[in-house]
Structure 1
């Protein structure tokens, strides 16, 4: 699908310089002299390179639609992560680097969304929040809850987060997968 250069919005995936890029930021610029253009910050979907490009309204670019499918995380096999397609039950092995730092939040049976283009997997979307158990933290000190302070805790997946002072070992917490921050105590 062809779109004009001034129609590019953050999140759009476009084909530029014979590869796929996602628009991270866009800014419409109208200089005092010359024609208006769209200043776009692009990120390469395959190697993570960044590029700043100007697109005029008269230029056209190809907007690419990614195929999104639901998968279930099964297990880790060395440096590979194994996922199963929820519809065809076909198994896919992807390198641990594909998910990146958020791979520590993968749990057996977790539903994830994999995005692909022409059979090549591009990204993995984890659930926004996960529930984990606190395995190590400092004991609660009486009277410490008056100030809004936090204490370090190590979770069952090995990640270190800051939790409120009333949390103790063995309790379950909800953590944001994107930011690795404590959200709330699990029910």
Structure 2
């Protein structure tokens, strides 16, 4: 069990029978009375945000979540299919559940799938992924100014800003935490 002193940003706990994560946290101690812990919570199943204030002395149940090593297989009309590498069990996540993470999935990629009981509620990607540039404007002689970026689209449909020397067909490394260009990769 967690107490109010354990509350912090990123902590996962059960609220009303569903897992929630604290996305913002503020502690206030009025001159008189109990300390207040103001939290902004995100429901990990529905994605809804709400504010809740707790008083010191309250306790919380930790969220019973499990990270499972899985492999991304394919996308079909029902969603994105992942397979547990030990049991070969398959789970499907919807496009809404994945959000922007769907742009960084490539076939046979190893990911961690966050499970709440038997239900998949999210994924954790590797920090970096290599994707091929499918569309970008050609480099123009003289475009050498520092910080001169241009838009590009990669094989998964994701659009980002890349340096002017990156061309169509190049393999680039993207930071999945920020969605930003990291470096060009030799094949």
Task: Give TM-score, length-normalised by structure 1.
Answer: 0.91
Structure 1: tracts of 5 or more residues without a match: none
2:100 counterpart SS class: helix
2:98 counterpart SS class: helix
Residues 30-179 of structure 1 mapped to structure 2, 5 A cutoff: 30-179=29-178
Runs of at least 4 residues of structure 1 off by over 3 A? none
Partners in 2 of 1:13 and 1:98 — Cα distance? 17
1:97 counterpart SS class: helix
Partners in 2 of 1:156 and 1:164 — Cα distance? 18
Instruction: State the partner residue of 1:6.
Output: 5
Contact in 2 for aligned 1:6/1:56 (Cα 8 Å): no
Partners in 2 of 1:22 and 1:42 — Cα distance? 6
Question: Post-superposition shift, 1:98?
Answer: 2.1
Question: Post-superposition shift, 1:20?
Answer: 2.0
Partners in 2 of 1:82 and 1:52 — Cα distance? 33
Question: Post-superposition shift, 1:44?
Answer: 0.9
Partners in 1 of 2:145 and 2:14 — Cα distance? 54
Contact in 2 for aligned 1:6/1:28 (Cα 8 Å): no
Partners in 1 of 2:50 and 2:181 — Cα distance? 34
Contact in 2 for aligned 1:6/1:37 (Cα 8 Å): no
Question: Post-superposition shift, 1:8?
Answer: 1.3
Partners in 1 of 2:147 and 2:171 — Cα distance? 20
RMSD, aligned α-carbons: 1.6
Task: Give TM-score, length-normalised by structure 2.
Answer: 0.91
